[in-house]
Structure 1
């Protein structure tokens, strides 16, 4: 067989340049104006933002009061009264905690940041030591500093705690304690032992069948009725237990969904390697299940952080309750005082919830939970 070749003897005719496959105009055409319906929706959204953004700007910045006196917040068409937030910021953060003892709360905040940030960084060194300090040492140190009554520290009962400090305590304790409990409940619900499975199912369905407000009322009002004579449980501790158990029931179902996403072959492969139940669960099944469950777990954590505002109903002085209580100060009476306080609280909640959401997305991308090719 002979090779057949072709050699062009004349110049090829010119062709038009290839169309661009990237650029801002192409992105706009593809994402915002691809169809007539997309075009109409884009125009409506742009008009809505054209109306909304100036209003927000005038309230937050343009007509807002950043300095001066309370009289400046009482003029017509005034915006946010930020000097009110500046004057009450310590109350929003610490509540009724004694002013002379603020340094103890600040140390707890500092220790929390110093231990939590490296723990969330995968490449940070001394991970085991960091985890031991955060989960074992830090809670003890934080309790001693906040409550006092030992080592020469003035005792500050939980009735004097309040503001953002209490919100963070409830959210942090609820997140840390509910996740392992939820994992155990999910494992128990999949157990082949009827008693273990029945108890876990009953627990999960009971706590998921009632709203969190009912749980908080039961923990605050009904629980003392079942305690022995003369024995009482701290109100904040009751709320912590109620929030933790409530969140654990929902996390159990989220983790159970992660277990259901694991192919049966993974369990069979672990058995073929001679691994027992706990080794197979800890080394093969559970890591994959938690990897699948990351979005749902973080969604429950965000919901938990926002639901901390419900503890104000049972008399716990969280951030929202602090903002509401500060509005009773007649010396700061102004048309936009209350809404400024609520906007400030909303901004605080948004910052923490948005941070958790972005960290969750980063973890998903790092673990490739979407299995993108």
Structure 2
């Protein structure tokens, strides 16, 4: 055996192996990723040279040959000595118009306050470690929009009795909705059933009061109500009282039921603030423009499309045939119509359908159209999240004897929204970029204001259009990229929470 083993043993030992190939240094990674084969090396060199050429051309156009200071077009015209690149002097000269549009110069402090308050509140809500999140979220979603409306327009609106009736009808609906979330038995009480029907009556009669006003009008406080508006207003008030009575009678915590007065308090504050004389001049919306209009349209669409999309998604999965049918019809209709068609309909066709003497601001019509359009797409995104929730989550919520709204609010919707964060943010980004379409119907958003500047004879040069469009593209990219990165941060934070 020893002889056989010895015959197979190498004489003189094995040859020394070469050292292992370095795969961790920068040069090694470069070699393995870009120069592993002759074809990889050739393609890497070709595309590398192309990238260097493109980057250098952009740097030369945007910085080296650019004009940063000038009073008119002569500063940005080519000369025999050199070829002019970007005309940043045009952007600097019209920068304030790109931000404010034609908003009066002496009143632009109001826009600055709106931008500043919005940035601070968004930061306080977005930063995870900041305390009092609920308070800041309430200020951002409830108080801030009202402040924006009053500051930008000047307030002192002339509200009709029909409009006030609709506001209190919405307060009654919000009160009933909150009552359903606090008690599982309140919906079966007689006062709550009467409150539901009175709210429906208030909604129907309130809408009719815009079109038909029988008899004379009566003054309540300083507001004029026609007969139908009075019926809608008093029906909403009685519905609020009955909802409070039903909740107090069935709730374990009587003090918590008093919180149902919040929607009514908000409605009263809303009417008083909008109609109160604040002493600041009125600025019509046709003077708004630039980044101001872009942010107003985008943020309004984002703020309204998410809650409306949630309700539509829940309605599409509802077991009630009427609710499901109406939700499906709404979603499929708005998803099947291009946004530009929606804007044209809101701008030109809607005024023809309104009764004589009733009109809505052009910007308001656009905001409604954009919000409804985005809500249809948002509903499908959220429906995907609802369908991804395991069936056991629904069964567990039912086993805890939770009401439908308690189950959705505390168990189902938080998980569903977490799953579809990328889709939600993608819809937000698409909506933000689609705001540039409002220029077609005459609203001067950021891109529209920039394009109007191209026709200014003081700044007509060959490089002016390219410079303005690059500036606009960078502004849109900055906002969209910020939303994308924040969504990635939220996804990672929620993923870490699920792992632990």
TM-score (normalised: structure 2)? 0.69
Q: Given the alignment, which residue of 180, 198, 222 partners 2:325?
A: 198
Q: For each residue in 1:163-213, what CA deviation from the matched residue of structure 2 results, as whole angstroms up to 9, or x when unmatched?
A: 100100111111011001001111111111111111101000000001000
- Greater shift after overlay, 22-31 or 41-50? 22-31
- Structure 1 residues 164 and 156, CA, compared in 2 at 3 Å: closer, same or farther? same
In 2, Cα distance between the equivalents of 1:42 and 1:282? 53
- Greater shift after overlay, 124-133 or 19-28? 19-28
Give the Å deviation of 1:259. 1.1
Aligned counterpart, 1:72 = 75
Give the Å deviation of 1:32. 4.3
- Greater shift after overlay, 89-98 or 280-289? 280-289
Give the Å deviation of 1:266. 1.3
TM-score (normalised: structure 1)? 0.91
Aligned counterpart, 2:61 = 59
Superposition pairs of residues 13-162 of structure 1, within 5 angstroms: 22-29=24-31, 31-32=33-34, 42-70=44-72, 71-76=74-79, 77-149=83-155, 150-162=277-289
Q: For each residue in 1:7-27, what CA deviation from the matched residue of structure 2 results, as whole angstroms up to 9, or x when unmatched?
A: xxxxxx998876656342344
The total of aligned residue pairs comes to: 361
Q: For each residue in 1:254-307, what CA deviation from the matched residue of structure 2 results, as whole angstroms up to 9, or x when unmatched?
A: 111111111111111222232222222111111111111000100010000000
Aligned counterpart, 1:321 = 448
In 2, Cα distance between the equivalents of 1:100 and 1:234? 24
- Greater shift after overlay, 36-45 or 287-296? 36-45
Superposition pairs of residues 1-373 of structure 1, within 5 angstroms: 22-29=24-31, 31-32=33-34, 42-70=44-72, 71-76=74-79, 77-149=83-155, 150-368=277-495
In 2, Cα distance between the equivalents of 1:58 and 1:370? 47
Give the Å deviation of 1:43. 3.8
Contact 2:121 2:140 in 1 (8 A): yes
Q: For each residue in 1:300-348, what CA deviation from the matched residue of structure 2 results, as whole angstroms up to 9, or x when unmatched?
A: 1000000000001111111111011111110112110111111111110
In 1, Cα distance between the equivalents of 2:58 and 2:488? 29
Flag the structure with more relative contact order, 1 or 2, with Cα contacts below 8 A and sequence separation at least 6: 1
Contact 1:96 1:160 in 2 (8 A): yes
Q: Secondary structure at the match of 2:356?
A: coil
- Gaps of at least 5 residues in structure 1 are 1-12
- Greater shift after overlay, 259-268 or 287-296? 259-268
In 1, Cα distance between the equivalents of 2:45 and 2:496? 35
Q: Secondary structure at the match of 1:312?
A: helix
- Structure 1 residues 25 and 277, CA, compared in 2 at 3 Å: closer, same or farther? farther
- Structure 1 residues 365 and 36, CA, compared in 2 at 3 Å: closer, same or farther? farther
Query: RMSD of aligned C-alpha atoms?
Result: 2.2
In 2, Cα distance between the equivalents of 1:38 and 1:56? 27
